[in-house]
């Protein structure tokens, strides 16, 4: 049965949530890990981790739809190919969302801390050159489809850091063109996020008010990200802020 979690939010937190949404939308579209900003904030304002995980999906859906639409109009994504790739993620995403709702806050918190720590470490790991392959660029590797099934499950379960994983997979198993990788990534995430959001909503694990505030900010951040390229120095600042947020989040969750 559909229920709504109750939470009284001070008015001054709304601009904070909006600003976090802008930042998360910008980061999510350019690379990934915007949930490293939104999830901690949603938990700090009073949501339990599972409801925060569900509420976070509203912004993710809106910002990825916004970005995918812009990429499509710039001919960076083939709609037929993108939908085909997204369909491979759906079975895993639905199962992952069901698991995410039923796992319980205790174990979800522990898994979340581990993923946060891994994601933070990956931000500062050296970038390796993409290995050369005899496969023509733009032709999908057979390994891409089972990989998408697994990524769908993780995205449905937690979502945190899924952008990094899609970039890694698509760039090695489909195309080295980073603009196209981002375009397909946003379309895939947008399409599988819709049913997972509905599952969390049906189980009463979404706070619509907070989610919509973040989503509005995320839509603006996504629009900015499609037209801007982050500088190296700007990227380092983003990494530093995310790392600090994650450390605070991990300390709170492990109490």
Query: Residue 4 — pLDDT band, cuts 50, 70, 90?
Result: very low
Rounded to 5 degrees, φ, ψ at 244 are: -65, -45
Query: Residue 5 — pLDDT band, cuts 50, 70, 90?
Result: very low
Give percent of the chain above pLDDT 70: 71
How confident is the model at residue 250, as a pLDDT? 61
**Rounded to an integer, what distance in angstroms lies between the CA atom of residue 251 and that of residue 172?**
35
* pLDDT tens sequence across 14-50: 888 999 999 888 887 776 678 878 988 898 888 888 8
How confident is the model at residue 104, as a pLDDT? 64
Lowest-confidence pick of 15-19, 85-89, 113-117: 113-117
Residues 62, 215 contacting (CB under 8 angstroms): yes
Query: For the residues 90-102, what does the mean pLDDT come to?
Result: 89
This prediction has a pTM of 0.77
Mean pLDDT of the chain: 78
Q: Reduced to 3 states, what is the DSSP secondary structure of residue 28?
A: helix
Domain boundaries, the chain: 13-253
């Amino acid at each position: 049965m559909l229920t709504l979690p109750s939470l009284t939010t001070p008015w001054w937190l709304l601009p904070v949530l909006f600003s976090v949404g802008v930042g998360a939308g910008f980061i999510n579209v350019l690379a990934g890990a915007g949930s490293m900003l939104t999830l901690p904030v949603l938990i700090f304002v009073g949501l339990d981790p599972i409801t925060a995980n569900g509420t976070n999906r509203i912004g993710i859906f809106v910002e990825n739809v916004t970005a995918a639409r812009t990429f499509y109009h710039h001919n960076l994504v083939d709609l037929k190919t993108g939908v085909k790739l997204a369909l491979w993620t759906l079975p895993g995403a639905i199962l992952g969302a069901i698991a995410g709702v039923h796992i319980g806050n205790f174990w979800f918190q522990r898994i979340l801390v581990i993923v946060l720590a891994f994601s933070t470490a990956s931000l500062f790991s050296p970038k390796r050159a993409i290995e050369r392959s005899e496969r023509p660029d733009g032709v999908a590797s057979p390994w891409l489809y089972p990989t998408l099934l697994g990524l769908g499950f993780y995205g449905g379960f937690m979502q945190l850091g899924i952008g990094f994983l899609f970039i890694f997979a698509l760039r090695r198993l489909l195309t080295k063109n980073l603009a196209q990788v981002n375009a397909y990534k946003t379309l895939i995430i947008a399409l599988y996020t819709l049913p997972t959001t509905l599952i969390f909503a049906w189980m009463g694990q979404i706070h619509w008010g907070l989610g919509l505030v973040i989503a509005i900010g995320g839509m603006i951040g996504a629009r900015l990200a499609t037209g801007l390229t982050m500088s190296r120095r700007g990227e380092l600042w983003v990494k530093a802020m995310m790392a600090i947020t994650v450390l605070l989040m991990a300390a709170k969750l492990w109490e």
